Amino acid sequence: MRIDVDGGRITGATPGSPRSGTVLTGLTLPGFANGHSHAFHRALRGRTHHERGTFWTWRERMYALASRLDPDTYYRLARGVYAEMVLGGYTSVGEFHYLHHAPGGKPYADPNAMGAALRQAAADAGIRLTLLDTCYLAGGIGVEPDEVQRRFSDGSASAWASRVSTLKEDELFRVGGAIHSVRAVPEDELSQVDDGVPGNRPLHIHLSEQRAENEQCEAATGFTPTGLLGDHGVLGERLTVVHATHLTDQDVRWLGEFRVGACFCPTTERDLGDGIGPARALRDAGVPLSIGSDSNAIVDAFEETRALELDDRLASEERGRFSAEELLEAGTHHATIGWNEVGTLAVGAGADLVTVSLDSLRTAGIEPSGVVFAASGADVRNVVVAGREVVRDGAHLLVDRPESVLAKEIEALWQS
């Protein structure tokens, strides 16, 4: 198959053509979309997994890490993380970004300095970035932000929207919005965040990740988190709910009725003991599915994608919950983070390609349709993003030895 590319788009696809130009040997797929990332959580990998406790005790370690970051350290860490994502098969990432200000909540001279650091890190790593700039105003329902959380807050939804409005997009950078959760944005400001994001850009929210969140929301408002969003007019096609782990049957019906998307982050949800969300039921209700690396405990597009099926098997005690086609559709669903033109190998689509080796120890002898179950990020040989070659023969062309970059930055963070 000859694929012609011009201006970052696929302009032709001709089967049976002689080999010429850049030869991609293996199975070539559309690039994968990482629908939900917290880049700085990567520094927690291998440092918290053995600890007993809950999501809430893990969060204290995460907050301690957040307090150590500034724009320069965040840029260096994120550049390594984004390079790791490209090597693992992702060509776009939605960064759920709430680490906005200096310690104590004082804005930097550039109020978007931390977002700018992420933007530059993604550009230097060669990945598409959607900055899901996150509104985070409270430390819980009816609770003021604590010392660390003040870094996350703009004080009001209107102030948050004003800051975000100054961000400018470019070829590989887009801006969306996020409500951190129903815990972190007061009920009377939910619709203001919705209104603060342009209508053609994505809006995300952490939803029903923990049972305690549901219990607190129902006690305070009389609604489940999904019902509360519906009551304030936030449910809609541009909304993606992240995790969606503990839903009622009515929640599932509402999400399907409004064509809300759902982003599952299976390795993080396992790591934090969140539970297993109703992926198959949501898909059957009409909810588009996507995947994300979230805490970046693992960065591997194939691992997250197949986990939709494997975790659902554990919950249902049945095999064959999703077809390979459905899994790849979820894994390459870039529209959830606003890259509607990416995710297919078709004329006019964005030229994001991932080529996977079919002769590694993991993939030798498989049928091509089984690649999502057999391959890992280590089998990614070539990656093209918007027509630009970023990975060749398993090596990143823009960031030299990302593993060394990450080791150096993470060690420095924990020693600071």
Clarify whether 243 is annotated catalytic: yes
The whole-angstrom separation of Cα 140 and Cα 126 is 37
166-225 confidence digits (pLDDT tens): 999 999 999 999 999 999 999 999 999 999 998 889 999 999 999 999 999 999 999 999
Task: Look at residue 358 in the predicted model and tell me its pLDDT.
Answer: 96
120-152 confidence digits (pLDDT tens): 999 999 999 999 999 999 999 999 998 889 999
Catalytic residue among 251, 294, 300, 379: 294
Task: Look at residue 49 in the predicted model and tell me its pLDDT.
Answer: 67
Provide CATH code, domain 31-411. Answer: 3.20.20.140
Task: Give me the residue spans of the domains in the chain.
Answer: 31-411
CA dihedral 360, 365, 369, 371 (to 10 degrees): -20
Kindly state the DSSP code that residue 203 receives in the 8-state scheme.
Answer: E
Q: Which two tokens stand for residue 141?
A: 């329902």
Task: Look at residue 156 in the predicted model and tell me its pLDDT.
Answer: 97
The whole-angstrom separation of Cα 163 and Cα 201 is 16
Strand 388-392, strand 173-179: pairing: unpaired
Clarify whether 294 is annotated catalytic: yes
CB atoms within 10 A of CB 226: 28
* pLDDT(52) > 80: no
73-118 confidence digits (pLDDT tens): 999 999 999 999 999 999 999 999 999 999 999 999 999 999 999 9
**Percentage of residues in the chain with pLDDT exceeding 90?**
90
**Which H or E run contains 288?**
none
218-253 confidence digits (pLDDT tens): 999 999 999 999 999 999 999 999 999 999 999 999
Catalytic residue among 243, 333, 334, 396: 243
The whole-angstrom separation of Cα 177 and Cα 252 is 23
Task: Look at residue 46 in the predicted model and tell me its pLDDT.
Answer: 86
How does residue 153 score in pLDDT terms, banded at 50, 70 and 90?
A: very high
* Cβ contacts of 151 within 8 Å, gap of 6 or more: 66, 67, 99, 100, 101, 102, 103, 104, 105
